[in-house]
Structure 1
Amino acid sequence: MSTLLVWREKLQKLYAAYSVYILKGIQFVLGLVLFGLINSNIGFMKMASSVFCTIGLAVICTFLPTIVMVMAATVLILAHFYALSLPIAIVSAVIFILMYIFYFRFTPKKSWLVLVAALAFGLKIPFVIPVAFGLMGTPVWIVPAACGIISYYMVDFVKRSATALKSADADGIAASLTSFTKQVLSNKEMWLMIMAVVIGILVVNMVRSRAVSNAWKIASAVGAVVCLIVAAAGNVILEGHISYVSIIVSAVLGIALGIVLEFLFFSVDYSQTENIQFEDDEYYYYVKAVPKVGVSAPEKQVKHITEETGNKAGNTEDILLTRSLSKELGIEKERPE
């Protein structure tokens, strides 16, 4: 355990020294995965789905605020939708605008949460979101989480129904608009997963803030299990097609992520917990104090050999050599008594 704590201290020092470069590297990888998933799933516009476009967008967005990456992803999705069908692009643009209104109202500086939520669903690990968001954030993080989930399911629906949607476009814009809107908004699986994630975030955040030992571990486990139960029960009731293996693996990964986050951001020693009581003129105070766990990284000590020491060593060797030669040649000087 102490070795892990030492590595954590080293990582914290490394991040403190190179945080700008580390964050930009993470932002580049995030953009590369995001734009790559979009182009690989709905690459209807050939020019926009090229590898050069994917890498170029990732590089450009690396040096700009994350909200620009969200906007770029939205424009890229709408461009692919437009190449497939104009009505789909129109309806999707309206839905994105409504989501942005809610996003800017509640979490204007947390644009990366939308991207992370959408990517988690794209990578088939949805239940890492309630655990991570519940531990590290506040209940208001349910807004960007919901926006990311809606974006994912909208893209997934178009991917699975591309042929039917393209043929429906020939029947008229009005009919296509109505049909696509109904199909997207009546997606039972989407609303079920939004409900599971929202409940999970609230449960994790509530348990995490309780004054109990191992609150973060308990919150991670309870939140993941609650999400699993809600998703499984809803899938049975709604006769859905959610993969049970997928959500079980996702819940296990969520618990593992919770343990990692606790180690990195909330490592405490519950065995040294103290309950303190004091008062003032108006109130009694009951405080539970839990010490943090910290181990200082060992510092390497380097011994420098100075030039003076080296010269002394050389002089000693010269003296010994001179005495040896003098003794052999019989010219060693007699020492005065």
Structure 2
Amino acid sequence: MNKNISKLLSALTSIGLVILIFIQVDIDQCSKIFIQTKVQYIYIVGFVLSPVLLILLVFRWKLILQDLDVNFSFFALFNSYTKGLLWGELTPGKIGEVLRVRYIYKYKKKNMIGLALLSIFIDRICDLLVLFIITIVSCIYFINNFNINYMFSVLMVAIVSVLSVFLSFCFRNKIGNGLKKIINVFLWKYRERFNIQYDNIIEGINKLNAKNIFIYIFITFTIWIVKVVSLPLFTLSLNIEIPLLYLFAVGIISVTISLLPISIAGIGTREIIFIYFLSYYKISPEASVLVSIMFYLFGIWSIALAIIMNVAYSQFKKLQSYKRFII
């Protein structure tokens, strides 16, 4: 019941924000700006940045699994990651990405489900940790250079989030033992199965070292750089000139706030943020909304491109098998 109420509130918030945006934005003006878009910049984002982003995302996950002694080919993981991205986009906080674990289960490696879940958890934590670190830097940038004092609230949330991740890692054994006791008491029917996976998870955590974590964090920083680099290309396509650091900071803040369960998939909140911050450089609400939509569609297009690549690879494999059969 509470989940339904939460979904209803998110949907109503999204509708309300969209209505507010429609009040502020002239649709005809949006159309005129969009018609004048320089498509060469869009092509760079769609056919250069998107493939690079996908390769980095899958490579990071493969590296994490490899360090946990779970080995799959890059293309096999690409298939699973594609489905995870799709479900992640449709669920709050991208929790749907956990469905990537189904690939491990599909190949009957049930004893590795705990490690697979751990790999996805590490993957997501790296993403959020780096996002919150860059958010802290972005908030400090806005506060120091533009006296946007209410950014203190976002800054505090980001700092608390980073500290929570750090403390969780430091006290991971105590947290894990506490969770194990809770599971054993309330879900005693699954106690034996849980204990096996729990032991696998603890063993996997112990395999990781500072060098592994540093590599994951470095790759994650690179991933976020690729994501925000799309923004200046979008603004250039719309003939908008904004300082790069300012634009990067706006993009990061918009992603962070859109993670909050305020609206569905951040619809409305992201656009409001772009309208507000880009107004500091006299950018019209129409152009701001277009930049915001393009930034969001970059993620959607990356998922679509991953699906296309996955289907193409599957068809190629079938064709190769068919040729062998004929020969």
User: Which band: TM-score by shorter chain?
Assistant: under 0.3
Q: Which structure exhibits the higher relative contact order, with contacts defined as CA atoms closer than 8 Å and separated by 6 or more residues?
A: 2
Please say which structure displays the higher CA radius of gyration. 1
Q: Answer 1 or 2: which has greater helix percent.
A: 2
TM-score (norm. length: structure 2): 0.26
